[in-house]
């Protein structure tokens, strides 16, 4: 039970001098895929860079939550390259990534081994000279004259400060930007709820020798699950994905079908939701062992270290991406790359329903088209040396459901990291970056960037 009075009390903390832990030109807060891209890009263009990550390894949702699919194609050609392509090439050499069977004629282009990808990214960070601090969460910013001077972090040795000239918030939740006073939106307009979350998991002990029997039984099992769910006797699940996995999953396949919903900014609630998700998995498996051929000895092999969070804060930027910009494949003068994914909203009430299943409705770009991801959605009016990258960038609830996917977040990361290095060299604020030079640099670095107005 929550303490309803907790927010009504305050304590005084005596003022004190904080020891400086480290200092760099660019401080990237959050080591998910967008933060990795931002840090590498800035470092390769001459900036000294520090990357702060709260979890034991980098990669965020891609590695720690086991979300292992990439979306790079407009269904005719791959249009997201740059550091995404380099990461894929490095992973391919080690056997840690495979192309989708429909490549390149589907948005989904690659499926990777999360363990391998975290190794790839740690290598790239080290080679680029980035100082990486894992096990450290982003604390309060120190702000002077409209700029962030430092970010405070709590370490095992006490509170410390990390100083920087430019800061990138790639926390996913917009933690640094919100603490610095940048306005933000949260949830959909109708009720303020954010997209549902998913626990990714894998199984072992599946007997592949009876797959034909499993295929024959799948429709009946799905109908039974739906009937029990309707009576409140079985957990919610993503129907389309569940059926696919029951037909095709092998030992080690990463299942994306287990939904929960709530507030990812409330740590106590998030803890409860994570435990709830694992209880749901136990319920799934109990039924499957009895009803699905080949599953009698199936066991849980792995679950995500964390829930796959899709949406929380969306900062108010210089430009806000909306669903028409996506579906109409709108191009922007300040483009830093392309996006291809559809309007893919996972039910904020946790039913497992997603607009991905709404075939025939206007939720997908036309084949062969892509939209621009503008730099303006990553910048703000309040803090001149702060950019955001990733799912906390400025967008509507609907547009966010497209631009939140990992490859698009990496486009933002590479864009703002490169912008920070250019501004460092020129002595400018991030909003003053020479956009034509930035675009020229990104293209030179392998970013696909076409049709700029």
**Bridging pattern class, strands 386-388 and 158-169:** parallel
Stretch 175-200: mean pLDDT: 97
Judge whether 142 lies within some domain.
yes
Provide the 3-class DSSP secondary structure of residue 49: strand
Domain count, the chain: 2
pLDDT confidence of residue 146: 94
pLDDT digits (tens, 9 = 90+) for 125-158: 999 999 999 999 999 999 999 999 999 999 999 9
Residue 358: per-residue pLDDT: 82
Are 227 and 250 found together in one domain? Answer: yes
For residue 216, which phi and psi values (nearest 5 degrees)?
-70, -35
- Residue 326: pLDDT over 60: yes
219 and 267: one domain?
Answer: yes
H or E segment to which residue 50 belongs: strand 49-52
**Neighbouring residues of 93: CB distance < 8 A, sequence distance ≥ 6:** none
* Interatomic CA distance for residues 180 and 283, integer angstroms: 43
Q: If you average pLDDT over residues 270-295, what whole number do you get?
A: 98
Q: Looking at the structure, do residues 131 and 160 belong to the same domain, yes or no? A: yes
Tell me the C-alpha to C-alpha distance, in Å, between residue 264 and each of 120, 177, 196, 347: 28, 17, 10, 15
Query: Residue 52 is part of a domain; what is its CATH number?
Result: 3.50.50.60
Distance between CA 57 and CA 122 in Å, rounded? 8
Q: Which of 303, 334, 357 is the last residue of a domain?
A: 303
Span 404-415, mean pLDDT?
Answer: 98
Look up tokens 């392998």; give the residue. Answer: 446
284 and 419 in a single domain? The answer is: no
Banded pLDDT at 12 (limits 50, 70, 90): confident
Q: pLDDT band at 417, cuts 50/70/90?
A: very high
pLDDT band at 169 (very low <50, low <70, confident <90, very high): very high
* Domain annotation covers residue 139: yes
Q: Got the DSSP string for 183-218?
A: -EEES-TTT-PPPPEEEEEEEE---GGGHHHHHHHH
pLDDT recorded at residue 1: 43
- Is position 9 within any domain? no
The pLDDT value recorded for residue 10 is: 87
% of the chain with per-residue pLDDT over 70: 98
Strand partners, 160: 19, 153
Secondary structure E strands in 304-444: 313-315, 335-339, 371-374, 386-388
- Residues with Cβ within 8 Å of 453's Cβ and at least 6 positions away in sequence, in order, are 331, 332, 333
| pTM as predicted | 0.96
Residue 76 lies in a domain: yes
45 with 168, same domain: the answer is yes
Q: Do 182 and 205 share a domain, yes or no?
A: no
Q: Do residue 210 and residue 244 come from a single domain? A: yes
pLDDT of 7 reads 60
Can you give the pLDDT at residue 362? Answer: 85
> Which of 271, 303, 335 is the last residue in one of the domains?
303
Instruction: Tell me, yes or no, whether 451 lies in a domain.
Output: no
**Do 260 and 328 lie in a common domain?**
no
Domain that holds residue 210: 197-303
pLDDT at 400 over 80: yes
Residues 291 and 325 both lie in one domain: no
Of 270, 303, 336, the residue that ends a domain is 303
**In this model, does residue 234 exceed pLDDT 60?**
yes
- CA–chain centroid gap for 381, Å, is 24
In a domain, 24, yes or no: yes
Residues 205, 276, single domain; the answer is: yes
Is 320 in the same domain as 277?
Answer: no
Total residue length of the chain: 453
> Are residues 338 and 257 part of one domain?
no
Q: Tell me if 228 is assigned to some domain.
A: yes
Per-residue model confidence (pLDDT) at position 6: 57
In a domain, 87, yes or no: yes
Comparing C-alpha atoms, which of 43, 48, 42, 46 is closest to residue 23? 48
Mean confidence (pLDDT) of the chain: 96
| pLDDT > 90? residue 54 | yes
pLDDT confidence of 357, banded at 50, 70, 90?
Answer: confident
């Amino acid at each position: 039970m929550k303490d309803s009075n907790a927010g009504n009390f305050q304590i005084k903390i005596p003022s004190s001098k904080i020891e400086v832990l480290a200092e760099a030109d660019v401080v990237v807060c959050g080591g998910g895929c967008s933060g990795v891209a931002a840090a590498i890009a800035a470092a390769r263009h001459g900036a000294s860079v520090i990357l702060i990550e709260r979890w034991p390894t980098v990669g965020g949702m891609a590695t720690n939550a086991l979300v292992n699919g990439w979306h790079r194609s407009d269904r005719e050609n791959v249009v997201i390259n740059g550091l995404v392509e380099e990461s894929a090439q490095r992973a391919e050499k080690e056997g840690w990534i495979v192309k989708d069977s429909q490549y390149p004629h589907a948005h989904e282009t690659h499926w990777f081994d999360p363990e391998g990808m975290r190794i790839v990214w740690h290598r790239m960070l080290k080679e680029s000279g980035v100082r990486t601090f894992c096990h450290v969460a982003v604390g309060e910013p120190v702000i002077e004259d409209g700029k962030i001077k430092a970010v405070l972090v709590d370490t095992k040795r006490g509170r410390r400060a990390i100083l920087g000239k430019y800061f990138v918030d790639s926390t996913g939740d917009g933690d640094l930007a919100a603490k610095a006073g940048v306005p933000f939106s949260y949830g959909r307009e109708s009720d303020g709820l954010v997209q549902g979350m998913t626990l990714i998991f894998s199984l072992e002990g599946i007997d592949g020798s009876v797959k034909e029997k499993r295929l024959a039984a799948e429709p009946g099992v799905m109908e039974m699950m739906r009937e029990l769910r309707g009576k409140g006797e079985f957990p919610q699940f993503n129907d389309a994905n569940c059926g696919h996995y029951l037909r095709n999953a092998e030992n080690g396949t990463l299942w994306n079908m287990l939904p929960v919903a709530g507030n990812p900014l409330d740590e106590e609630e998030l803890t409860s939701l994570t435990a709830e998700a694992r209880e749901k998995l136990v319920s799934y498996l109990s039924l499957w062992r009895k009803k699905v051929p080949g599953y009698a000895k199936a066991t849980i092999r792995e679950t995500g270290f964390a829930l796959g969070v899709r949406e929380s804060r969306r900062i108010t930027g210089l430009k806000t991406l909306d669903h028409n910009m996506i579906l109409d494949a709108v191009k922007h003068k300040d483009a830093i790359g392309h996006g291809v994914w559809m309007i893919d909203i996972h039910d904020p009430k946790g039913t497992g329903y997603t607009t991905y299943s709404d075939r025939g409705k206007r939720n997908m770009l036309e084949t062969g088209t892509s939209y621009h991801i503008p730099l303006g959605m990553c910048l703000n009016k309040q803090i001149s040396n702060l950019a955001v990258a990733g799912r906390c960038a400025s967008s509507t609830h609907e547009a966010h459901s497209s631009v939140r996917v990992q490859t698009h977040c990496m486009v933002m990361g590479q864009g703002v990291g490169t912008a920070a290095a250019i501004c460092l060299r020129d002595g400018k604020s991030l909003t003053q970056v020479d956009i034509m030079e930035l675009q020229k640099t990104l293209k030179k670095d392998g970013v696909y960037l076409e049709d700029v107005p």
